[in-house]
Structure 1
Amino acid sequence: MKTNSWDGSESHPYRDVIGRRALPHDPPLSLDPAQEIFFITICCKQRRSNQLCHSEVASILFEAARFYEREQRWFVHVMVLMPDHVHFLVSFGLDATMTNLVASWKRFTSRRAKIQWQRDFFDHRLRGDEGWREKGDYILQNPVRAGLVAKYEDWPYVLLPAER
């Protein structure tokens, strides 16, 4: 009987990925991506430099996010731009994989807003014991924790569902 564990006797299926200290982003096929919420972080290549918190850049990033929603590729529950990275909670449409969709969004925004993104991104699927509201509050409080504003409501670089 074949087991799902890897015993080292043959090449590991993710050998080249693990060597780069990264794992595949897309969730298992058994999950319904439209029913799952993911916490995504995308960082700029140049850290500690304000590349995203400019009104014209924010406008491009938010409009691209809204476009993907209109196309039913994803639904953004909350998106917060920080000077050198972006956090969001997102659910994906049935016809899109997370890896391809995030790569497409990064390519488009990179060209339009002249942003140099890091090659990869961080993702975390929220599990049953993690509340998406708590994660959303954590994301919204990021500018406060960074000392950029006293309260998150004062941060202008936020996209919420009510703002569509």
Structure 2
Amino acid sequence: MSEYRRIYQRGGSYFFTLVTHQRKPLFSDANHVDILRRAMRQVMSTRPFTIHAIVVLPDHLHCIMQLPDGDADYSSRWREIKKAVSRQIAPLSNERNERMVWQRRFWEHAIRDENDWQRHADYIHYNPVKHGLVTRPALWPWTSFHKAVERGIYDPEWGLQEPPAISHMDCE
């Protein structure tokens, strides 16, 4: 059994990676991405959180989520999101009552400071290029990069080359 311990900070910001079961490219289907969006909004309506950056790739997603002050429970939020998506994408369960949509766990990293936040946001937005899906982040449809450009955080041509600050990062 793993000795991995999660960090829970009330009101904290976290970087997450969630992966589909056996890396199936479930989110190549735009309808599945819409199911994910609806599930996130549904959970957000009862258990508030803010997504500051996100990218949905065919077999995984990355995001930066911030929890409300006084709340550190990101695990139940992801459990509810994953359940809602799974019910719609895979209506049948296996003998353990699991729907084979997601890997059982997810990876989290507590954001430490502004520099850490920016590196992880860059990692998120550059990820479709890293995986060879597009030649620049602006060409990927399922990303918060477009909103970040509108807010002046990124230039539309950002990401033509891998930013040096993320070249060593591997959050897959």
* TM-score class normalised by the smaller sequence: 0.7 to 0.9
User: 1:24: Cα distance to partner?
Assistant: 3.9
Tell me which residue corresponds to 2:67. Answer: 92
Letter in 1 for 2:49: W
1:43 touches 1:118 (CA, 8 Å); kept in 2? Answer: yes
Greater Cα shift, 117-126 or 73-82: 73-82
Q: Does 1:38 align with 2:23?
A: no
- In structure 1, the gaps of 5 or more residues are 1-18
Tell me which residue corresponds to 1:25. Answer: 6
Cα distance 1:130–1:155, how it changes in 2: closer, same or farther (>3 A)? Answer: same
Q: How many residues align?
A: 138
Give 2:81's match in structure 1, choosing from 105, 113, 130: 105
Tell me which residue corresponds to 1:10. Answer: none
Cα distance 1:121–1:91, how it changes in 2: closer, same or farther (>3 A)? Answer: same
Tell me which residue corresponds to 1:50. Answer: 25
Deviations 1:35-54 (A, max 9, x none): x210001111122x311121
State TM-score, norm by structure 1.
0.73
Q: Percent identity?
A: 27
Greater Cα shift, 82-91 or 110-119: 110-119
User: 1:97: Cα distance to partner?
Assistant: 1.0
User: 1:160: Cα distance to partner?
Assistant: 6.3
Give 2:40's match in structure 1, choosing from 40, 44, 65: 65
SS in 1 for 2:52: strand
State TM-score, norm by structure 2.
0.70
User: 1:23: Cα distance to partner?
Assistant: 2.6
- Two-structure CA RMSD over aligned residues (Å): 2.4
